[in-house]
A and B are shown apart, each in its own frame.
Chain A
Amino acid sequence: MSQDSTRSRGSSALLALAAVAVAFAAADTYVVVLSLPDMMGSVGLSIDELQRAAPIISGFLLGYVAMLPLIGRIADLRGRLPVLVASLLVFGFGSLVTAAAYDLPSLVTGRFLQGVGGGGLVPVTLALVADIYPVERRGVPLGIVGAVQELGSVLGPLYGAAVLAFGDWRDIFWINLAAGLVLAAGVAALGRGVEPRPRRRFDVVGLTLLALWIAALLVVMRQPERLVTSVRWGGPFVPFGDDGEFFGSIWFSQAGLVTIGLGLGLLAWLLIAPARAFVDLRDWWASVRQADLLGALLLAVLLGGVILAFATADPEVQVFSDAGPVYLGTAALAAVAFAVHQRRAASPLIPRGAFGARPAWGSLLVSFFVGAALIAALVDIPIFARVTVYGDSQIKAALVLVELLVALPIGALIGGYLTRAYPSGLIAAAGMALSSFGFWMMSTWDVDALHHLSSSAVLALTGLGFGLALAPVNAALLATTEPAVHGVTSAMLVVSRMVGMLVGISALTTIGLRRYYAVSGDFPAPSEVCGGPTRCDRYSDLLQHAGIEQLHAIFIGASLAALLAALLAVVLFRGAATRGAPTSPLLGIGG
């Protein structure tokens, strides 16, 4: 009896820690929005290449979403604790790769790994809730996990701004690495009382290899100047090929190959001696195979194809690069294969018939467009602030976004109450129409718009609109699906919103820029504008205005996405019996 109560107390503490980790991972989705201009500069991107920088955000979302089909099942097979610790460690490793990134692909790889780790946390934490609480008492804790996730996304940009106030963008990810490791250690320590398992022996060989590999990885990626310019020690860092060639990559140097060798050595050790290694990779792999690996891979190919199709575009010329249709075609094939796979799988991710009712699948569709619009706000409003009035203060640029984010939970509460009395389609549509109007207003903002109080009103209105739509969309889903599948269907709502964000940030940026170039045509020569000299305030204004115009194009896109969400909600939610149904206003705002 008393042992039981300490176990449950341990579980609650574990859940609290897991919730902190979830908040941290959620913060990480948006932590980059302020440092995006700096990160672009660090990896050699120019400000008019916004579409190429989009994968810095969408790469994280890809990892997050692609992980979901796998992780729930793995957590069932292996227990919550190992999966939680592993997710945090992968998150930490992704942070390390991001912090040490030397070009765009390495940066996006790091962000993807961060997403994989972060994405693993959510289903396991939800499963922990299910372990600890009986069905009828799960509402509040689930709501708290959702709220914590939302809190993370509010704090993310602020946290990023706070770090940028005294460091550079790399410091954000070094701190993330430290936090990931501390949380992993905390979870492992707490978990010992909850899920007792035999202690493994200290694996000298494996851990030595791991330490050497990570050290080598850091040295090769960061290329410390003292080392690489040393006549004696710099030789191994020189790539075999020339700059720009395949073999000119930093990995095709002696040091690079040693790093790869160390990595393979570590892998070999883990596979050859699973009983002695610090982690039993074979056993993990077996669990991954038992989970829906094919589903996860197909989903990753599908979303990765979409990201690449838009990211490789040159909006000055066209929406897609020559390779664009190939990427999109691959994504379409993966989509078909994923659908077929879902139909044939013995235990599909989404139970068959779960989304049979129109409001049920409709809520997924609406969520998708809500996500697409929301990401435009989260990414492009801070950039607007930095381009116009707060070029030198990231904190102030972050606070502009906060004006929108504080209104969001207020809207969510109001939406929750209204949903009890009025049709959900109507309220969701009203909310998204409000947001659509807000974006439309933003698309008319000029250089000093943020100095006027009216901009705060527009931002608050937009946030309020997003908040209003949360509860009715969720209620429409819950009212038209079986209680037994509420867990997985609610999760799908979040996934749908994240996929919307991913596609939104990719597509809106590229299509918006293309539209901008198509409409604005070409600039006059500076000497024409200035009447003689080649630089004058008028020309600078023109340039700055062009920078803002590309954001305007994106805001218009977001406005249309929000409008579409509103229309879909009106049409598709008709007949959903949501009135009087008790729903927690907090439930499902995560994402």
Chain B
Amino acid sequence: MILRNTRRRPARRTAFAVLGALVLTITLAGCGSSDDGASSQGGDPIAALTAAKKKFDEASSVHFTMATTSKPAKGTDAVLGAKGTLTHQPAFQGEVKALYIGITADIPLIAVDGKVYAKLPFSTGYAVINPKEYSAPDPATFADPAAGISGLLLKLEDAKKTGEKRDGKLVVTTYAGTLPGALVAPIIPSADAAGTYRTVVGIDDDGRIATLAVTGDFFSGGGDVTYDLAFDDYGKNVTISAP
């Protein structure tokens, strides 16, 4: 009896030591997160959005990603995402994720000098395509100051500062409003031109657009779908040329 008790004690002690170490780790981890990155962005949403648009338009290049986790219910074609680099040439180089006959395909794409070159599935080289015929956007126009992404910022209706949100290492200040579908469609072609889309813009500490989330009925009647856009690597020296 006594023997068993003495045998047990060290085990219990180590158990507490292990637990103690873990609690410490968790507390330390918690400490790291407790600074609330209070970035004051000025109260006026219009001023902040205008400044962000200016920075976007002035940057020589921006890297961006676009993605949605939803899919159209029926086997219709849709653009589900994109990632790549935009320049103000205007040009785009990257990949577009498209849904085609119920199957997703990543399509390498270069848009420059008013032409769109795509490496379609099962082909080994780039071919010129007309993106309209593929119900895809011409990503080069994303960089257009008027019709592109930065143009959307000034057209945000009822823009209000809504708070702060974390985007990886960054903490962004969010501004929410709505956009008419006709303005969204050049970026995400499956948008309904007559619809209204709730839009949240995230602006980082440097006053640049970091995130853009557009929510609404993208897949005709399929309910709310959100497309998340993220922007980083502003102002890299990039020149995009035709393949």
Binding site for B on A (CB under 8 A): 37, 40-41, 44, 46-48, 205, 209, 212, 228-236, 238-239, 254-255, 257-258, 261-262, 265, 268-269, 272-273, 275-276, 316, 386-387, 391-392, 517, 520, 522-523, 525-527, 533-535, 543-544, 546-547, 549-550
User: Are A261 and B22 interface neighbours, CB within 8 A?
Assistant: yes
Partner of A392, one of B19, B26, B102, B124: B102
Binding site for A on B (CB under 8 A): 7-8, 11, 14-15, 18-19, 21-22, 25-26, 28-30, 32-37, 71, 74-75, 80, 100-106, 120-125, 127-130, 133-134, 164-169, 171
User: Are A238 and B169 interface neighbours, CB within 8 A?
Assistant: yes
With known contacts A47-B104, A235-B32, A527-B128, A230–B166 Cβ distance under 8 A: yes
Measured between beta carbons, the chain B residues less than 8 angstroms from A234 are: 33, 166
B22: nearest chain-A partner, CB-CB: A265
B107: nearest chain-A partner, CB-CB: A46
User: Are A546 and B11 interface neighbours, CB within 8 A?
Assistant: no
Query: Would you give the shortest CB distance from B24 to chain A, in whole angstroms?
Result: 10
A239: nearest chain-B partner, CB-CB: B168
With known contacts A387-B101, A523-B127, A534-B128, A543–B18 Cβ distance under 8 A: no
User: Are A231 and B168 interface neighbours, CB within 8 A?
Assistant: no
Tell me the bound Cα distance from A55 to B62 in angstroms.
36
User: Are A262 and B129 interface neighbours, CB within 8 A?
Assistant: no
Tell me the bound Cα distance from A154 to B190 in angstroms.
39
User: Are A46 and B106 interface neighbours, CB within 8 A?
Assistant: yes
User: Are B120 and A392 interface neighbours, CB within 8 A?
Assistant: no
A277: nearest chain-B partner, CB-CB: B11
Partner of A276, one of B8, B22, B133, B134: B8
Tell me the bound Cα distance from A257 to B35 in angstroms.
20
Measured between beta carbons, the chain A residues less than 8 angstroms from B133 are: 533-535
Total of A-B residue pairs, C-beta within 8 Å: 150
Partner of A229, one of B71, B74, B101, B165: B165
Tell me the bound Cα distance from A272 to B15 in angstroms.
9
Tell me the bound Cα distance from A268 to B128 in angstroms.
60
User: Are B103 and A525 interface neighbours, CB within 8 A?
Assistant: no
User: Are A273 and B33 interface neighbours, CB within 8 A?
Assistant: no
With known contacts A275-B11, A276-B11, A254–B101 Cβ distance under 8 A: no
User: Are A231 and B120 interface neighbours, CB within 8 A?
Assistant: no
User: Are B22 and A550 interface neighbours, CB within 8 A?
Assistant: no
For A37, A525, A533, the residue with the greatest tally of chain B CB atoms inside 10 Å of its CB is A525
A536: nearest chain-B partner, CB-CB: B133
User: Are B106 and A269 interface neighbours, CB within 8 A?
Assistant: no
Measured between beta carbons, the chain B residues less than 8 angstroms from A272 are: 11, 14-15, 18
Measured between beta carbons, the chain B residues less than 8 angstroms from A392 are: 74-75, 102
A248: nearest chain-B partner, CB-CB: B168
Measured between beta carbons, the chain B residues less than 8 angstroms from A37 are: 102-104
With known contacts A40-B104, A391-B75, A534-B133, A268–B121 Cβ distance under 8 A: no
With known contacts A47-B103, A47-B105, A276-B8, A543–B122 Cβ distance under 8 A: yes
23 contacts between A and B (CB under 8 A): A41-B103, A46-B105, A205-B19, A235-B166, A254-B28, A255-B29, A258-B22, A261-B25, A265-B18, A269-B14, A272-B15, A275-B8, A275-B11, A387-B101, A387-B103, A391-B75, A523-B123, A525-B127, A526-B120, A526-B127, A543-B120, A546-B122, A547-B101
User: Are B121 and A47 interface neighbours, CB within 8 A?
Assistant: yes
User: Are A258 and B130 interface neighbours, CB within 8 A?
Assistant: no
Query: Would you give the shortest CB distance from B5 to chain A, in whole angstroms?
Result: 13
Query: Would you give the shortest CB distance from B97 to chain A, in whole angstroms?
Result: 8
Measured between beta carbons, the chain A residues less than 8 angstroms from B106 are: 44, 46
Tell me the bound Cα distance from A59 to B26 in angstroms.
34
Measured between beta carbons, the chain A residues less than 8 angstroms from B32 are: 235-236, 254
Q: What would 18 more interface pairs be, CB under 8 Å, given A258-B26, A387-B102, A534-B128?
A: A205-B19, A228-B166, A231-B165, A234-B33, A235-B33, A236-B32, A238-B169, A239-B168, A254-B29, A258-B25, A386-B103, A520-B122, A522-B123, A522-B124, A525-B127, A526-B129, A546-B121, A547-B101
User: Are A232 and B123 interface neighbours, CB within 8 A?
Assistant: no
User: Are A231 and B164 interface neighbours, CB within 8 A?
Assistant: yes
User: Are B128 and A525 interface neighbours, CB within 8 A?
Assistant: yes
Measured between beta carbons, the chain B residues less than 8 angstroms from A546 are: 121-123
Query: Would you give the shortest CB distance from B164 to chain A, in whole angstroms?
Result: 5
Measured between beta carbons, the chain B residues less than 8 angstroms from A526 are: 120, 127-129
Tell me the bound Cα distance from A235 to B15 in angstroms.
29
Tell me the bound Cα distance from A167 to B50 in angstroms.
43
Tell me the bound Cα distance from A547 to B7 in angstroms.
67
For B19, B106, B123, the residue with the greatest tally of chain A CB atoms inside 10 Å of its CB is B123
Tell me the bound Cα distance from A239 to B146 in angstroms.
36
Tell me the bound Cα distance from A234 to B33 in angstroms.
7
User: Are A231 and B36 interface neighbours, CB within 8 A?
Assistant: yes
Tell me the bound Cα distance from A387 to B124 in angstroms.
21
B69: nearest chain-A partner, CB-CB: A42
User: Are B15 and A273 interface neighbours, CB within 8 A?
Assistant: yes
Tell me the bound Cα distance from A214 to B191 in angstroms.
40
Tell me the bound Cα distance from A276 to B15 in angstroms.
10
User: Are A523 and B101 interface neighbours, CB within 8 A?
Assistant: no
Measured between beta carbons, the chain A residues less than 8 angstroms from B134 are: 534-535
User: Are B121 and A543 interface neighbours, CB within 8 A?
Assistant: yes
Measured between beta carbons, the chain A residues less than 8 angstroms from B124 are: 316, 517, 522-523
Tell me the bound Cα distance from A233 to B166 in angstroms.
9
Tell me the bound Cα distance from A84 to B36 in angstroms.
50
User: Are B171 and A547 interface neighbours, CB within 8 A?
Assistant: no
With known contacts A276-B8, A533-B130, A48–B14 Cβ distance under 8 A: no
Query: Would you give the shortest CB distance from A569 to chain B, in whole angstroms?
Result: 37
Query: Would you give the shortest CB distance from B104 to chain A, in whole angstroms?
Result: 4
Tell me the bound Cα distance from A64 to B14 in angstroms.
37
Nearest 10 CB-CB pairings of A with B? A235-B33, A391-B102, A234-B166, A535-B133, A546-B122, A523-B123, A41-B104, A273-B11, A392-B75, A254-B29
Tell me the bound Cα distance from A257 to B171 in angstroms.
22
Measured between beta carbons, the chain B residues less than 8 angstroms from A212 are: 22
User: Are B122 and A523 interface neighbours, CB within 8 A?
Assistant: yes
Tell me the bound Cα distance from A44 to B123 in angstroms.
19
User: Are A522 and B125 interface neighbours, CB within 8 A?
Assistant: yes
Tell me the bound Cα distance from A261 to B71 in angstroms.
37
Query: Would you give the shortest CB distance from A104 to chain B, in whole angstroms?
Result: 13
Query: Would you give the shortest CB distance from A357 to chain B, in whole angstroms?
Result: 48
User: Are A273 and B130 interface neighbours, CB within 8 A?
Assistant: no
Tell me the bound Cα distance from A205 to B21 in angstroms.
14
Tell me the bound Cα distance from A263 to B15 in angstroms.
14
User: Are B29 and A236 interface neighbours, CB within 8 A?
Assistant: yes
Tell me the bound Cα distance from A231 to B164 in angstroms.
7
A228: nearest chain-B partner, CB-CB: B166
User: Are A391 and B101 interface neighbours, CB within 8 A?
Assistant: yes
